[in-house]
Chains A and B, each alone.
Chain A
Amino acid sequence: MSQPLLEVEHLRVEIPTRRGVLTALDDVSFAIAPGEVLGVVGESGAGKSLTGAAVIGLLEPPARVAGGRIGFAGRRIDDLADPAMRRLRGKEIGAIFQDPLTSLDPLYTIGSQLAETIRVHLGLGRAGARRRALELLNEVGIPAPERRIDQYPHQFSGGMRQRVVIALALAANPRLVIADEPTTALDVSIQAQIIALLRRLTREHGTAVMLVTHDMGVIAETADRVAVMYAGRIVEIGAVRDVVLRPQHPYTAGLMGAIPVLGARRERLLQIDGAMPRLGAIPGGCAFHPRCAHAFDRCRSERPELLPAGPSAAACWLHAEADHG
């Protein structure tokens, strides 16, 4: 892999509450190369979105980065002061949120929202910003952009709004886009279009993507590599093909097993027994051990690190045991 664009090392995010400090992300490390698409999967509450928010410096207080390092293009960014971080947001790192229906300000035309973003980052004049806005709308496949540019968000359908959101995220040609469940709120038929659009645009511009989702199908189609998160940690990371076809961590294997296959007759959908622990009640040792069919003594007492396992890396004692004896 070439020099990584984004490097996250031992990231730890804490949320202080009245009943003590919760550790929402613990020892999260990964890297994204320029132009690479990294999928991040996991159950709700596993810390996927929080990781994205930490990278872009928009953790909602009281959540805070308590340790580790985030590097972007060779520069440390987790300790940047707000104005410097702001110049990075939108310009170098774009973001797409889950719900296109609520991502746009209802009181402004999409044209003015595009233009303000363009003017802030590219320093264009009024006319130049509008021209660029039209180009962008055209690029994301909005029909009749000359007419649509002066319309308000509520005049667009969900899919069209997400196209506008993508245009906004890509307005300044960022080198990295963090897409946080960009299709969850959309119709299934629209989801594929939006993913295809995102893939095409980021490929054309050489934009790296951190794609947060819980849809393994989207990951399999879109991502180059995938990180699987569980209870605030990465439990497995590797090339998509390896992780999907040869999962190394029992949790990943469970996730893959839970995808129903068309045509396969099954009485019941496969599922992983139990539920992911709440942040305040993460068990000692491996967080997954109470639900793991292969758990043994070491899993209950010692926390596994992310170590090479087959073609990928997994945080599981099964592999350490296999390697050492």
Chain B
Amino acid sequence: MIAFILRRLVQSVAVMLTVGCIAFLLFRYVGDPVNNMVGQDTSLADRALLRQQLGLTDPAALQFARFLGRAAKGDFGVSYQYARPVGEIIAERLPATLELSIVAALLALAVGVPMGVYTGLHRTGLLSRLVMAFSLIGVSLPTFLIGILLIVVFSVELGWLPSFGRGAVVALGWWTTGLLTASGLKSLILPAITLALFQMTLIMRLVRAEMLEVLRTDYIKFARARGLPNRLVNFGHALKNALVPVITITGLQLGAIIAFAIITETVFQWPGMGFLIVQAIGFADIPVMAAYLMLVAFFFVAINLIVDLLYYAVDPRLRIERGGGAYGL
């Protein structure tokens, strides 16, 4: 168990180093950092001095080490656009994105899993067919279109819910939350549904497919032959087995939700990281982009590690046989 965790940790560090290398290359070699910082009328001598001061004349390896050292402390330099430390800007935006992503993920799970189980158990029912048809729409419609449609219906036509922003927020230390105010909660509904819809339908279809697969197995037939009640067979045995692969996909999808919140945040003017990164790309704000890249990579790696540990906890076969790392990134 300890060896397993250590092995996964080493792999995670390797992934983070690789991403750090890309972020560094981006930071250092896409455009000239000095050019981006100084005005047009700065003399060549001043530029050379600044270059010296920033350590940009040192060997690349040393610069990379310095970049990593700072990144580990959350120091990604100064944003070209805002002329403020990147860490600070991201810390401001992070709670909005995380709240939106986690609410969306919970929504996707809370609706997707039960619907998947229902359609798996009642394959030919009318409701199942309706849900399946509906899920095709969810899988195939692009996120921005869903967001805009929701805004048209619920904000413009019905006027029930706000179409942009995060509403009023409450500060808890450095974390700002919109979950404690009525306007914050109202603002969260449309973006959360927009962000969750694709994942919801994906999880539902996955759970359904896994349920159908598991229900065909001998151990389910044998469980019925043992005279166990349907509830115990369907939920205790079938669902638990069906959820093993679902855990992996859902974990990866949570990472994807955080990363792809960009589109939803842009549609809803949600003051999170995704909105920030879109602005940063427009402005060629390299430090923000590099920091965002590393942060998203960190979330992916951390979620993967947790998923692996969960897998380990759920499936006894992995606890004995070695080589549980087959289900990683």
Contact = CB atoms under 8 A, between A and B. Distances in A.
A105 B317 contact: no
Contacts of A117: 226-228
Contacts of A152: 316-317, 320
A131 interface: no
B227 A103 contact: no
A247 interface: no
A168 interface: yes
Contact of A97 (B225, B237, B244): B225
Contact of A102 (B218, B236, B244, B317): B218
B219 A102 contact: yes
Interface string B216-229: 01110111111111
Contact of A116 (B218, B228, B314, B321): B228
Contacts of B218: 97-99, 102-103
Contact of B232 (A103, A106, A116, A165): A116
A107 B227 contact: no
Interface residues of B, number: 25
Contacts of A116: 228, 232, 236
A121 B227 contact: yes
B65 to A, nearest CB: 46
B319 to A, nearest CB: 8
A106 B237 CA distance: 9
B269 interface: no
B229 to A, nearest CB: 7
Contacts of B224: 58, 86, 89
B186 interface: no
A107 B241 contact: yes
B51 interface: no
Interface in A139-172: 152, 154-155, 165, 168-169, 171-172
B315 interface: yes
A107 B313 CA distance: 10
A92 to B, nearest CB: 9
B240 A107 contact: yes
B222 A95 contact: yes
B229 A86 contact: yes
A63 to B, nearest CB: 13
A90 interface: yes
A86 B227 contact: yes
Given A89-B225, A117-B226, A104 B232 contact: no
A154 to B, nearest CB: 5
A105 B225 CA distance: 13
Given A103-B219, A152-B317, A90 B225 contact: yes
A154 B219 contact: no
A75 interface: no
8 contacts: A56-B225, A86-B227, A97-B221, A102-B218, A105-B241, A106-B316, A106-B317, A169-B226
Interface of B: 217-219, 221-230, 232, 236-237, 240-241, 244, 314-317, 320-321
Given A152-B316, A152-B317, A154-B321, 7 more contacts: A87-B227, A95-B226, A97-B225, A104-B219, A107-B244, A116-B236, A155-B320
